[in-house]
A and B are shown apart, each in its own frame.
Chain A
Amino acid sequence: MSGIKLRELAHSRTGDKGDTSNISVIAFRAEDYPRLCQWLTVERVTAHFAELLDPSGPPLRRYELPNVHALNFVLPGILRGGVTRSLALDAHGKALGAALLDLEL
């Protein structure tokens, strides 16, 4: 299964609240959900976004939603001051989920 990108198995949406983003990862096929749970650890997702996360901030969290074969990642501080004060081009972080889909499994 090497060389497969997350995008082949799952889709994603990013939301914002204050300076925190949440990124859902939803398996296209229910049978892939256990593998996503196994592969998409907090450590791997943290490493993927290492450059964007605040290393001194609270850790990334993962929630499981088995009935809809989805994971929800919560990334505190990644919006750096939040939508209202951020200098970022994408202050909401709407494009973050698309970057996660490039993760190689």
Chain B
Amino acid sequence: MKTLRIGSGAGYSGDRIEPAIELAEHGDLDYLVFECLAERTIALAQQARLLDPQAGFDPLLGERMRRVLPFVGRGADGQRRRLRVITNMGAANPLAAAREVRRIAGELGLPGLKVIALSGDDVLATLLDDPSQTLDNGKTLASLGERLISANAYLGVDGIIDALRADADVVITGRVADPSLFLAPQIFEFGWATDDWTLLGRGTLVGHLLECAGQISGGYFADPGFKDVPDLARLGFPLAEVDATGRAVISKVAGSGGRIDTATCTEQMIYEVHDPAAYLTPDVSADFSAVSFTVQGPDQVLAVGADGRERPPSLKVSVGYLDGWIGEGQISYGGPGALARGRLAREVVLERLKLTGVAFEEIRAELIGVDALHGLELGARADSEPWEVRLRVAARCADRAEAVRIGNEVETLYTNGPYGGGGASKSVRQVVAVASLLLPRDAVTVQIHSEDMA
């Protein structure tokens, strides 16, 4: 039976590159997928595009493509197809990203590569036809006004399948649901019907398991003495070998670091899932509730039992908007009495912000090493006082100037605060918030672009 080997080359935009190249070189892959778009990455990219119309795609696109394209396409003899690449690194500007990939292919002496970009996920103009629509946070689009910067629908497999049919070697998308990047080549290669919900559920499980790259092969897992992972610095990225029935074996390149077993697979299957019987994507409502994993060999796990039901009627749209500024300051205290001095420093900063009338919408003042991650109640479970603590004050302000004053009040503790404060730092950043709404499918038109538009 024909099988398909799909590798995962990135779990987020800034991910390591050499494990992806290791997969391309030694994974005997048919497809390599790079998933690089977190919730608000497109909103940030859209801001970059406003400043420069040729920008707005993944900053590591060029480096990744320079390293991986030599393994893509028909090669020197022009006969055997080697691996194809599917990626959402197009972010807010897939067409410009595709142009950049063609340029790099030319530089590398690979002019025959077919690079296809997908458009249609950017629905900002469509949404603005009806600004009375309400987001999941209760705000209307109209109320965001000038602060609204992006609106992108989560596309499914359709456009990617069109691109593969058009013989693409490299498919560049903007916002596409993460598992769809992996499901599309399975549908295309095996000829699955796009309403065979069981097969789509199985293929979506494969995508969900692979989409965070190293998170299934030993990353985000090691807990020394309880869960040990060999050679974490050389973590190998995962690949799946899938057959036409959706039966999949997850593995990695022999000799790479990390581990793949039922424990790593189970953690990743439940990652970012709510109801395991209804994992919604644009393509299917996938059911992972009866999945089971079986070890087939060293770092080889068989996944079976996924199912699916009819896809949701609407597409989710992620809306990015500017939402004020976060000002932050930090300073450390160490040695005997560090905790008491850290607490005093916190009181002083909060009182100073009140005295000087700094306007903020929300504030957090916490002691790193004590209560910053889990609050006071859980933080109090520590057996003894920490040797060192770090005060962190962060506040969200409507105006940048107010946000600047947060870090300044922490910094002035150097000469005005408790004994021995060291290593003060401060920062200000603009908040790009994300909310969502649902859009009917027929409001979205997906198109593929084989050549540059004039």
Contact = CB atoms under 8 A, between A and B. Distances in A.
Contact of A24 (B270, B290, B434, B436): B270
A16 B272 contact: yes
**Most chain A beta carbons < 10 A, residue from B40, B274, B362, B374:** B374
A70 interface: yes
B104 interface: no
Interface residues of B, number: 53
Contacts of B332: none
A13 interface: yes
A47 to B, nearest CB: 10
A52 B395 CA distance: 18
A77 interface: no
Contact of A13 (B40, B267, B433): B267
Given A85-B396, A87-B362, A65 B289 contact: yes
A92 to B, nearest CB: 10
A12 B364 CA distance: 27
Interface stretch (B108-116, B120-128, B376-384): B376-384
B267 A95 contact: no
Contacts of B362: 81, 87
Q: Is the interface of B mostly helix, strand, loop or mixed?
A: mixed
B269 interface: yes
Interface string A30-70: 00000000000000000010111000000001010101101
B267 A90 contact: no
**Most chain B beta carbons < 10 A, residue from A51, A68, A88, A94:** A68
B374 A70 contact: no
B266 interface: yes
Contacts of B276: 63, 65, 72
The 9 closest A-B pairs by CB, nearest first: A15-B272, A24-B270, A13-B267, A51-B375, A67-B292, A87-B364, A15-B271, A87-B394, A68-B266
